[in-house]
Each structure stands twice: as structure tokens, then as C-alpha cells.
């Protein structure tokens, strides 16, 4: 091998080695950068998990406090009535009957509260335990209307079910029933006397039904609308207690809608009352 050729070969080898070293250096830098990005991503994920855990802890603490507050009134009432009934002073039959009726009424309220809390917890933590089957939304809405027919008549409320028939989805019967039942009860309790309540399917596509539920009653102050689905919301002090509600009805509605792959929002209706718009996924 001549000297020029030898020098060329050596130069080429040195060049290739330099290129290889440079490539390895770039690859190492890229790997280090990827590891740094991964470490940063893991750190951010850990922070997010800690924040979510703290948020969930606060929610559970708040709910526990609210439940204790809600339980206090009926339990105190029952205790007070029973202490009178079991006391030494004689009580005439009319008062005895009244106190027993009040005790029974408060136990019903306690039972409703326990059932509603249990339902929300189950929806949040074990939603897969709710079975699904093909059901008719319009037929279930009719069930809720029939169940509350006498109550609505007492308050002079006209109910119109204008849903399309059939409206079949793959869902849970009791949860869809709870949507219409709680919306109706909310209107009966808070919207006022002599109003009209109606619901219809204002749109549908291949995936969802879009349903509107409205009343012609009083509505609420706009500042409360973003919180209307919160648990134990108090618009007026003692409002749920006076109406016999648990303060969880609209929260259950929201959870049941989310369970069926939909979403929900509420607004004050032009002309008075509230309008709820929600969707239900067909399958």
C-alpha cells in the first residue's frame, strides 16, 4: 500500500471513528434528554396523583360532614318525640298518634338519605356493578310520571311526556328511572304550584338521544346554576329539610347521565323555570 493510499485509509478510519463517536454522543444526549423528560413526566404525574388524592380526601371529608349534618336533624327529632312518648307525663291519644307519625316521617327521610348516599358511592366507586340491558327511555319516563301523578295533582302541576316512542338504549333501568324521578321531584318541591313540567327529545343521532326537561316555575338565581348538581346544595337555608328531600337528587341525576355516556347542563328558561338538557348514549 502506497503512502498516500495509507494516509487516506487512516484518515477515513479516523473520520468514521469520529462520526461514530459524535453519533454515540448525540444518541447519549438524546437518551439523557428522554430520561430527563420521563423523570419530569413521572414527577408531574406523581404531583397530579397526590393532588387528586387530596381532592378526593377533601370531598369525602366534606361529604361525611354533610351527611352527619343531615342526619342530625331527623335523629334529634326522633329522639325528642320518643323521649316524650316514653316519659312519665300522660299524653292523650291525638298527640301520641301525631308524635308517632312524625317519628315515622323522619325514619323515611333517614332511609331515603342512606339510599341516596349509597347510590352515589356505588356510581362513583363501583359503576360496573350496575347491569345493562335494552330499555325504553320513554316507557321509563312514563313510570316516573305515573308514580308521582297524585303528588303532581295535589300541587296543581301538569306533566307532559313528549318523548319519542320507542327510545331504546342499552342502559340501567333503575338509573334512568332515577333521572326522571329526581327531576320531577325537584320541580314539585321547588318550582312552585300550578306549573307545567314537560320533557321531549329535541335531537337524536346514531349515537345519542338529546333530551330537554323543563318547568314553567320560579327558576333559581343564576349564581347557583353552576352548583346545582352539587351534593347538599342549600339555596335557601333548610330548603331540602322543609321539602323532605335529601339534597342529593340532582347529584344522582348527573351521575346517572354520566353513567350512560352523556352529559347534562341546566339554565334558567326564558319565561320562567329551569331547563335541563342531557344526552343518553344508545349503546
Strand ordering across the sheet containing 196-204: 158-162, 196-204, 208-215, 274-281, 264-268
9-53 pLDDT tens trace: 556 655 556 656 666 767 777 777 777 777 777 787 777 778 776
126-145 pLDDT tens trace: 778 888 999 999 999 999 99
- The full set of domains in the chain, from first to last, is 1-129 (1.10.287.130), 132-281 (3.30.565.10)
Q: Is there a contact between 146 and 123 (Cβ–Cβ < 8 Å)? A: no
90-129 pLDDT tens trace: 888 898 899 899 898 888 888 878 888 888 888 878 778 8
4 exposed, middle or buried (CB, 10 Å; 0-12, 13-18, 19+)?
A: exposed
Amino acid at each position: 500500500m502506497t503512502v498516500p493510499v495509507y494516509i487516506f485509509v487512516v484518515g477515513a478510519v479516523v473520520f468514521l471513528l469520529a462520526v461514530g463517536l459524535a453519533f454515540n454522543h448525540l444518541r447519549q444526549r438524546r437518551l439523557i434528554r428522554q430520561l430527563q423528560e420521563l423523570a419530569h413526566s413521572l414527577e408531574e404525574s406523581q404531583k397530579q396523583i397526590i393532588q387528586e388524592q387530596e381532592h378526593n380526601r377533601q370531598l369525602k371529608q366534606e361529604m361525611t360532614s354533610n351527611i352527619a349534618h343531615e342526619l342530625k336533624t331527623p335523629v334529634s327529632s326522633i329522639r325528642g318525640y320518643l323521649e316524650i312518648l316514653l316519659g312519665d307525663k300522660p299524653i292523650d291519644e291525638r298527640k301520641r298518634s301525631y308524635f308517632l307519625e312524625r317519628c315515622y316521617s323522619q325514619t323515611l327521610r333517614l332511609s331515603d338519605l342512606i339510599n341516596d348516599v349509597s347510590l352515589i358511592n356505588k356510581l362513583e366507586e363501583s359503576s360496573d356493578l350496575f347491569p345493562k340491558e335494552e330499555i325504553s327511555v320513554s316507557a321509563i319516563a312514563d313510570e316516573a310520571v305515573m308514580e308521582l301523578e297524585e303528588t303532581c295533582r295535589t300541587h296543581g302541576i301538569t306533566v307532559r311526556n313528549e318523548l319519542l316512542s320507542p327510545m331504546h338504549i342499552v342502559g340501567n333501568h333503575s338509573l334512568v328511572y332515577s333521572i326522571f324521578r329526581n327531576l320531577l321531584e325537584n320541580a314539585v318541591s321547588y318550582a312552585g304550584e300550578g306549573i307545567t313540567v314537560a320533557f321531549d327529545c329535541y335531537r337524536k343521532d346514531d349515537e345519542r338521544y338529546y333530551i330537554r326537561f323543563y318547568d314553567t316555575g320560579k327558576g333559581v338565581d343564576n349564581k347557583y346554576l353552576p352548583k346545582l348538581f352539587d351534593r347538599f346544595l342549600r339555596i335557601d337555608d333548610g330548603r331540602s329539610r322543609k321539602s323532605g328531600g335529601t339534597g342529593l337528587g340532582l347529584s344522582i341525576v348527573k351521575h346517572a347521565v354520566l353513567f350512560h355516556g352523556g352529559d347534562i347542563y341546566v339554565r334558567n328558561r326564558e319565561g320562567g323555570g329551569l331547563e335541563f338538557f342531557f344526552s343518553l348514549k344508545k349503546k
